[in-house]
């Protein structure tokens, strides 16, 4: 395996993470700049997540026979061009249209990157390599999202989109340079989807992904506007919360990637899920108190970011031959959760029902923890 190939995939996930989460970091600037409400601006996330949840399995099916190096590099090139177009979008509806088209393509990157990492790694190091590749999302949260918030508030949202485009171009070149040629996965066909549908463990794992994502995104999508309304928080304060959330997620993912091959997917998953629950409950109890919200963010980030990495590890372990399809469905489930969470959050936000947002988030995460406990494997590892 090329020593820099996982790093190239990590950077690609960094770009993908910013592309997906970026609007959450500049909702206020998009709202003001485009002349729409914050709720309308949040639909960039909600509708985008809906496209992603459909696009991920569909693109996995349509592109499973293509060379991964060409496929992933082309995906990043399209992401770069779409962000250039977004920077010059004349109005809200054109920006939304560009985003939806772009995300329909970008939907394939994360699951195919995970499948590619699995193909490049020996079985005994597969979990660690996949977790490392997914660190790109952690970095997107720790560095990318705060940077987007800062750039948008000081230089405008168009400049922020241009900066993302530049990073995407660099990532495209790195993937094209470092990934091996001729790397093909197992073709995904109708029988693959049928086999997944008849695997109870995989179906429950996918439900866990939906629940553990829906809860945090009820709050996460509107962190900036809510903090501004409750505490008159500045852009720098909001960016610092995103940074805290992301950096603790990065730390959590680094630790999880080191211990998962030893502890197993289930045990590692349970630990990070409990941390996520503590964080969401702490955020609810400390709402409006900055120091309490910062402390809660530590647990929230530490649990949320690695939780999806552990889901991928468990899915691959549950059915290695179906990894490309199951990981794509997991990514789809992740985006379903984003759509559900941001949609519910939007309903409560416009009514200023901030406590209801917090309670809904807690309910989703409690349900996910319960299901993780119920899926404890009989063997030593999941």
The pTM score is 0.79
165-215 pLDDT tens trace = 999 999 999 999 888 877 666 566 667 778 888 899 999 999 999 999 999
pLDDT of residue 382: 44
379 domain-assigned: no
Determine the Cα–Cα distance for residues 342 and 183; give it in Å rounded to an integer.
36
Comparing 133-137, 229-233, 280-284, the range with the smallest average pLDDT is 133-137
6-17 pLDDT tens trace = 888 999 999 999
39 domain-assigned: yes
Structure tokens at 371: 């299901």
Q: Are the C-beta atoms of 340 and 333 separated by less than 8 Å?
A: no
381 domain-assigned: no
Q: Are the C-beta atoms of 141 and 301 separated by less than 8 Å?
A: yes
Determine the Cα–Cα distance for residues 137 and 215; give it in Å rounded to an integer.
18
Determine the Cα–Cα distance for residues 366 and 299; give it in Å rounded to an integer.
15
Domain with 59 in it: what CATH number? 1.20.1250.20
251-309 pLDDT tens trace = 888 888 788 878 888 999 999 999 999 999 999 999 889 899 999 999 999 998 888 87
Q: Are the C-beta atoms of 307 and 337 separated by less than 8 Å?
A: no
Structure tokens at 39: 């709720």
User: Does 282 or 136 have the greater pLDDT score?
Assistant: 282
Determine the Cα–Cα distance for residues 189 and 266; give it in Å rounded to an integer.
29
Q: Are the C-beta atoms of 217 and 337 separated by less than 8 Å?
A: yes
Determine the Cα–Cα distance for residues 328 and 345; give it in Å rounded to an integer.
25
380 domain-assigned: no
Determine the Cα–Cα distance for residues 149 and 314; give it in Å rounded to an integer.
34
User: Does 160 or 230 have the greater pLDDT score?
Assistant: 160
Determine the Cα–Cα distance for residues 129 and 113; give it in Å rounded to an integer.
11
Please tell me the total count of domains within the chain: 1
Cβ contacts of 250 within 8 Å, gap of 6 or more? 135, 138, 139, 141, 142, 305
Query: pLDDT band at residue 310, thresholds of 50, 70 and 90?
Result: confident
pLDDT at residue 354 is higher than 80: yes
φ, ψ (nearest 5 deg) of residue 352: 55, 35
Range of the domain at 24: 5-374
124 domain-assigned: yes
């Amino acid at each position: 395996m090329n020593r820099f190939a996982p790093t190239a995939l990590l950077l690609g996930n960094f770009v993908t993470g910013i592309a997906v989460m970026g609007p959450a970091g500049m909702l206020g600037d998009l709202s003001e700049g485009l002349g729409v409400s914050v709720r309308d601006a949040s639909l960039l996330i909600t509708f985008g997540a809906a496209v992603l949840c459909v696009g991920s399995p569909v693109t996995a099916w349509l592109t499973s026979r293509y060379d991964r190096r060409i496929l992933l590099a082309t995906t990043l090139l399209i992401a770069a061009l779409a962000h250039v177009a977004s920077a010059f979008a004349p109005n809200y509806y054109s920006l939304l249209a560009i985003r939806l088209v772009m995300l329909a393509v970008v939907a394939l990157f994360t699951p195919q990157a995970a499948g590619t990492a699995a193909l490049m790694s020996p079985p005994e190091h597969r979990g660690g390599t996949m977790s490392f590749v997914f660190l790109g999302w952690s970095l997107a949260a720790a560095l990318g999202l705060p940077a987007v918030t800062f750039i948008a508030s000081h230089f405008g949202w168009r400049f922020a989109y241009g900066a993302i485009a530049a990073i995407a171009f660099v990532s495209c070149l790195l993937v094209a340079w470092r990934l091996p040629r001729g790397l093909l996965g197992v073709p995904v066909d109708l029988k693959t989807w049928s086999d997944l549908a008849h695997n109870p463990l995989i179906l429950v794992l996918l439900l866990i992904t939906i629940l553990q994502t829906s809860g945090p995104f009820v709050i996460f999508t509107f962190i900036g506007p809510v903090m501004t309304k409750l505490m008159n928080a500045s852009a720098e304060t909001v960016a610092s919360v995103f940074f805290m959330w992301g950096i603790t997620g990065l730390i959590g993912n680094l630790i999880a990637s080191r211990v998962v091959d030893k502890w197993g997917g289930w045990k590692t998953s349970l630990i990070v899920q409990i941390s996520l629950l503590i964080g969401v409950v702490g955020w609810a109890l400390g709402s409006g108190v900055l120091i309490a919200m910062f402390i809660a963010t530590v647990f929230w980030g530490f649990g949320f970011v690695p939780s999806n990495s552990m889901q991928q590890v468990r899915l691959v372990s549950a059915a290695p031959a179906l990894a490309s399809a199951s990981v794509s469905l997991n990514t789809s489930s992740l985006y379903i959760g984003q759509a559900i969470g941001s949609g519910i959050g939007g309903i409560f936000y416009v009514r200023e029902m901030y406590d209801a947002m917090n309670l809904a988030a807690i309910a989703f995460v409690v349900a996910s923890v319960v299901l993780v406990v119920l899926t404890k494997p009989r063997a030593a590892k999941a």
